[in-house]
Amino acid sequence: MPIAGDSLNPGGTATLDVKGMNCASCVSHVEKAAQSVPGVEACEVNLARGSASVRFDPQRANPAVIAEAITRSGYPASPRQAGDDPSDAEARRLERQAHEARAWFNRAIVGVLLWLPLEAAHWVMRLIGHHQAMPAQAMWIGWVSLVFATIGLIYVGSRFYSSAFAALRMRTSNMDTLIALGASVAYGYSLAFFAAGLAGLVTPPTADHLYFMEASGLLALISLGHWLEARARQSAGSAIRQLLDLSPSMAMRLDEHNQPHETPAAQLAVNDRVLVRPGDRVPADGVVIDGRSNVDESMITGEPLPVVRSIGDNVIGGTLNQDGRLVVRVTKTGSQTALAQIVALVEKAQSSKPPVQKLADQVAGVFVPAVLLIALVTGIGWWAWGAAHGWAPAVIWGHAANAVCSVLIIACPCALGLAVPTALMVGTGRGARMGILIRDIDALQQAERIDTVVLDKTGTITRGKPVVANITSLNGMPPDEVLRLAAAAEQYSEHPLAKAVVTRARERGLNIPDPSTFNNEPGLGVVAEVEGQTILVGSASLLRELGGASVDGAKGTQVFVARKAGQSHAAEALGVIEMADEIKPDSIEAIAELHRLGLRIVLLTGDNRAAAEAIAKLVGIDDVRAEVKPAQKAAVIRELQSSSSRKSHVAMAGDGINDAPALAQADLGIAIGGGSDIAKEAGDIVLVSGSLRGVPVAIRLSRATMRKIRQNLFLAFIYNVLAIPVAAFGLLNPLIAAAAMALSDVTVIGNALLLRRARLDRLEK
């Protein structure tokens, strides 16, 4: 047995695969069984995925012991190995779901074949009038019904009875308890009256008073419902499977002689070189070391257009190489890849619970005992009513059995347990396919309530890569000469503005000499000796403090160029290079969409006010907070949260690293551009593509998902609240109750699946 803290689970958390769960009461029992183990701090069960996430003290518990406790409660459980390959884990889950679906299908087919022909024969007998007093020529239907119902209870009902007995051993009850009791009441009542009639102890009961076929039929219908439910769950959870299917099973690894050899992708190691041919999928995260091609990243980032990848660019495993040859050096494998991190985040979000789900689980924990009490009261009530009105015992028992069976079957809380997790699975899965990673249910709830969105400028609205927009000469020197001298002085600087100057000079084909000296002046610029003259390149402050020159620097992002003849002379201003940070192509449309959602938009940046207001005007933002240092951004968020008479709910969209304090302070942090470092992002929601358009889409997705969760919970609650009284008053046949229960499960899952078709983006077709 593994010990706490070993390789099975080094961090005090584990994921367990759990079989046999069908309803909210099952969830409650599994959580109680796990929490009964000393050292277990928390357990969250995902009914739709058939898994449990546990957090525990490694000194007092381990996953194997927790799994054993859950298994003893009637739900076979096994721990998932730490570091398990996501594809393998998902394959096991899908195999488990497929096996479960096949098992329910087999039970349903056998049950229907045992029940439907005799049920039809029974109704034929009623129509021709042979249902009265069971005449000799009609006795066979009673015998055959007894035999077929017995086979049905043994084979079709075995799953329900074994689960009910396991719960009984744990001194508790579950949904299968209700089903087993309902079938047993119908079968037991019929057997007793049939046997008593044959023995002459009572007046032979009519066919109307025998419920053999109802006992067999309700098991068949419920099994059919579970099969449909299992199929629907597979469809609801298809997002992770589709993501994992992106990973190719084989890769072309290059040897030391640059010869390709087909190798299982799972065997690739960091620093391996792989050949990615046109039409191939990239086998692992890496960096391009040779070649150039268009790469389709739509299934990872949600962006429909391919992107150009060439030497030095990162590529994500699972993306599709379209038309060129690439050689990629592997940088991440296994659980460290972007695809694996996406799957892990989606699974985490799908396992989390909103407060309303926790309330539903608490209700489900006492729901089954309450239903058993209601069924008992129903039986007693019918007996008292029948006796008071002088009904024959057979009639009283018949009505009581019908009502009790209907109450037990119709009250099964399956839909209650599926209401939230199925909507979460579909919503988070669709988000993942669009490049929107939702970390947990709290992010969904917060996103739904957002009324103010704060946007960082650099890297969020703009590309974050400045370019030279214009060059103005101040002393008659040609603009290209100003650019050449500036590039010569700046070529050893790592500052983004310096790189932009050098890049433009090289694009213009200018001869850039090496400086004989180079000094970086932090926060100001650079001073270098170029071709025997001192060149100053930087801010207006640099020229004033080191060059003794006065220039106007309040017109946006500008780089000033000057030269100085000697120590005693003031610098001569040569020109000004105006810089621009290119706006992302879809930023204007995204901000317009946020306005259409009725949200207040604020631009928050550390850039100077002139540059910030210029960008804000272009994209349609009126509220600008400029020249704000990173450490002060969180204070601005706090101010916005408390600026109105009612508390505002503020979302902050930034790069996820530089804006970490503001992202943490905001009610909802949205990290833009997760790329291959998704696990390091600070946001509650991560937009892998880096597109601002993901912000309104994420808000729409959150609203749609929370709406489906509320609809499903309403459907589940109202179903039980209305159906139980109807059944108790004898207005519901047990077979109709069984069909309605199965239909409620499929209805809840089907309603959640409608999220797949919800329109989240105005640009969607």
Residues carrying an active site annotation: 456
Positive/negative CA dihedral, 42, 47, 49, 51: positive
**Residue type, position 365, single letter:** G
Query: Measuring CA to CA, which residue among 745, 736, 758 is closest to residue 715?
Result: 745
722 exposure class (CB count in 10 Å sphere: 0-12, 13-18, 19+): exposed
d(CA 314, CA 285): 8
504 phi, psi to nearest 5 deg: -65, -40
Answer yes or no: are the C-beta atoms of 52 and 45 closer than 8 Å: yes
Q: Tell me the C-alpha distance between 206 and 314, whole Å.
A: 78
The runs of H, that is alpha helices, within 302-456 are: 338-351, 355-388, 393-410, 414-433, 441-449
One-letter amino acid at 127 equals L
Any idea what DSSP says for residue 389? T
The DSSP line for 21-33 is: --SHHHHHHHHHH
CA distances from 665 to 30, 229, 440, 629, 649 (A): 36, 41, 17, 15, 11
Specify the 3-state DSSP secondary structure of 212.
helix
Residues 4, 59: contact at Cβ < 8 Å?
yes
CB atoms within 10 A of CB 368: 27
* Distance, CA of 490 to CA of 485 (rounded, Å): 9
Q: What is the largest CA-CA distance in the chain?
A: 130
The tokens describing 115, both together, are 């029940």
**Which residue, chain included where needed, has tokens 């592997």?**
330
Contact between residue 193 and residue 212 where contact means Cβ atoms under 8 Å apart: no
For 535-587, the three-class secondary structure string (H helix, E strand, C coil) is EEEECHHHHHHHCCCCCCCCCCCEEEEEEECCCCCCCEEEEEEEEEEEECCCH
3-state class of 256 per DSSP? coil
Interatomic CA distance for residues 682 and 704, integer angstroms: 24
**Backbone φ/ψ region at 531: left (φ over 0), alpha (ψ -120 to 50), beta:** left
Name which of 349, 325, 332, 497 is nearest 420 in CA terms: 349
DSSP letters for 166-201: HHHHTT---HHHHHHHHHHHHHHHHHHHHHHHHTTS
Torsion of CA 396, 402, 405, 406, to 10 degrees: -130
